[in-house]
Amino acid sequence: MNTDRPAVARAFQVLGVCLIVAGTVSVGATTLSSEAQAQNTFPLDKYPGFGRSPDAVLRDDTIAYWEAYGRERLISSCMGESGFEYVPAVAYPEEAMLAVAEGLGVAVSSDPSLESPFDRNRTYEVELTPEEREGFNQALFGESAADVAEVNRTGLLPVGRMDFATGGCVGRVKAGALSVWDLRRELDDELVVMQRSIAESPELAATRAAFRECAQRVAGIAADDPADVDAFVGGGGSEPQAATVLSECERVWAVGYRQSQLTAAAGLVKEHAVAFSELEARYSHDIMATVRNDDEFLAYLSDQVRVTDSPAEALGEAH
C-alpha cells in the first residue's frame, strides 16, 4: 500500500483502531503456560471495543474497519452531492487490516501495480483546475486548498487549529457516526484505574500469600508472584528451582489474578451499566455475519490487500 499519503489523510481520515498485541500472557516477566493463559482472557472481551484477547481483538478490528469503510462510503456520497468524485479510502494499520482480511477469508495476495484509493483521490484532485481544487477541499474538509497543501507539505497543523479539517463532508459524517471504540475511549482513564486496582485488591493479596506458600513448599523460594521468581533467577538463583515453582504454582497465580480482574471489571461495568447495556444492544445482532455478507466491503478489502507491497510481512502503519 502506498504509504506516501497526504498528512491530512493520515491525521483526519475517519477511523478507529485499537490494535493490542495479544499473544502469550505474561505476569511480570514470566510467560505462563497455555492453561494459565486461558485464565487470563480479558474479562471485558465480550464487550465490542474492549477486546484484548486475540479473538476479541480481531473481532474489534474487523468491526472498526467495516465501520470506517461505511463512513468513507458516506463521505463519497456527500462529495458526489457536491459535484466531486471521491473514492472511499480507509486509513488503517496494515498489519491489522491484513489480519482482518485473513479472518474474513479474503485472499492475501499482492498486486502493487494497482492504484490505492488514496492515490486515486490524489490523482483526481491534481487534475482539477485551481478553482475546482479549492471547491474540492472546501467540500471535503471545510478548508482552503492552500492550507491543506501546507499541512500535507509540513505534516503540521496550523497554529491554534486543533479543529483543522473537521468541516465539510468529513466533519458532517464524523459528527453523526458511531464507532465500536466510542465507549472504550470514554473510559480510557477509568480502565487505567481499574488495572491499578487489581494490584491493590484483597483478592490479589490473598493470591500473593497462596503463591508464597506454594513457592516455599515446592522449592524453598521466597516469592510472592512470578515476577519474584524471575528476580530470583536474575539474582543468581537456581533455574531448576524456579522452573519447579512455575510448574507447580503458576495456576495459583493465574486463577487468583483472574478473580481480581473479574472483580475489578464487574465494578466498572456496574458503575457504567447503562453505557455497557447500550453498547451490547448496538451490537446485539450478529454483527460479524453482517460484515461477512457485505460484498461491497469485502471487495474493497480485497483490493486493499492487493495494493500492499508485501502482505505477508507488512509491519503496520498507524494513521
Predicted confidence band of residue 307 (pLDDT cuts 50, 70, 90):
confident
CA distances to 44, 108, 118, 271, 305 from 99, rounded to whole Å, are 21, 9, 21, 34, 10
Residue pair 212/222 in contact by the 8 Å Cβ criterion:
yes
What's the pLDDT tens digit per position in 70-88?
999 999 999 999 999 999 9
Q: Does residue 314 contact residue 308 with C-beta atoms inside 8 Å?
A: yes
Residue 252: phi and psi, rounded to 5, are -60, -45
Predicted pLDDT of residue 131: 97
Cβ burial 133-158 (10 Å sphere, 16+ → b, else e): bbbbbbbbbbbebebbbbbbeeeebe
* Residues contacting residue 212 through CB under 8 Å, at least 6 positions apart: 222, 223, 224
Do 24 and 31 contact (CB within 8 A), yes or no?
Answer: yes
- In this predicted model, which residue has the larger pLDDT, 37 or 93? 93
- Segment among 7-16, 78-87, 95-104, 180-189 with least mean pLDDT: 7-16
Inter-CA distances, 182 with 48, 60, 177, 282, 312, Å: 10, 12, 10, 12, 31
Q: What are the CA-CA distances from residue 255 to residues 23, 92, 239, 258 (Å)?
A: 18, 36, 24, 5
Q: How many CB atoms lie within 10 A of CB 7?
A: 18
Q: What percent of the chain is modeled with pLDDT above 70?
A: 83
Contact 12, 155 (CB under 8 A): no
- The set of residues, in sequence order, having a beta carbon less than 8 Å from that of 39 and lying 6+ positions away, is 251, 254, 255, 257, 258
Q: How confident is the model at residue 109 (pLDDT cuts 50, 70, 90)?
A: low
- Where are the chain's structural domains? 1-180+286-319, 188-271
Q: Residue 201 contacts by C-beta under 8 Å, 6 or more apart in sequence? A: 260, 263, 264
**d(C-alpha 277, C-alpha 226), whole Å:** 36
Taking only the tens place, the pLDDT of each residue in 130-184 is 999 999 999 999 999 999 999 988 889 888 888 999 999 999 999 989 999 999 9
Question: How far apart are the C-alpha atoms of 151 and 141, rounded to whole Å?
Answer: 12
Residue 3 is predicted with a pLDDT of 39
pTM above 0.85, yes or no: no
The SS3 call for residue 130 is helix
CB 287 within 8 A of CB 49: no
- Residue among 41, 36, 35 nearest 22 (CA): 41
Longest CA–CA span in the chain (Å) reads 80
**233 has a pLDDT exceeding 80:** yes
Mapped onto helix, strand or coil, the DSSP state of residue 30 is strand
CA dihedral 120, 98, 64, 170 (to 10 degrees): -10
Q: pLDDT tens across 186-219, in order?
A: 999 999 999 999 999 999 999 999 999 999 999 9
Q: Which residues contact 242 (CB under 8 A, 6 or more apart)?
A: 219, 221, 229, 230, 232, 233
175-210 burial string, b = 16+ CB within 10 Å, else e?
Answer: eeeebbbbbbeebeeeeeebeebbeebebbeebbeb
262-300: pLDDT as tens digits: 999 999 999 999 999 999 999 987 899 999 999 999 999
Residue 149, classed as helix, strand or coil, is: helix
pLDDT of 62 higher than 90: yes
Closest by Cα among 214, 173, 211 to 27: 211
Q: What percent of the chain has pLDDT over 90?
A: 74
